[in-house]
Amino acid sequence: MNTKLVESLAQVVKSLTSEERELFNAKVNSLNEAEERPFYETATTEEWIAAFREWAESHSHDSPMLSDEAISRESIYGERG
């Protein structure tokens, strides 16, 4: 660890005005947010399941059901299939 650099930075931060310190803190926070990894990289299996269920439940539940005819292989592929 570069203790001299850390000490120098601490002195610089200490000498900032309140406005400069707010700007500095905002910059540090934005850097921290940029370093956060996306959900798909960090989620556990349980978190994936919960997110999927939440997504599925967010859709309308009153859509009409398709008939057996509408989803039959012959209906989907016709003569090709």
| DSSP assignment of 3-15 | HHHHHHHHHHHHT
User: What does the pLDDT look like over 23-81, one tens digit per residue?
Assistant: 998 888 888 766 778 899 889 999 999 999 999 999 998 989 999 999 999 888 987 75
So where are the chain's domains? 3-61
DSSP codes, 46-60: HHHHHHHHHHHHTS-
Helices and strands in the chain, H and E counts: 5, 0
- pTM (2 d.p.): 0.40
Which has the closest alpha carbon to 13: 21, 23, 22? Answer: 21
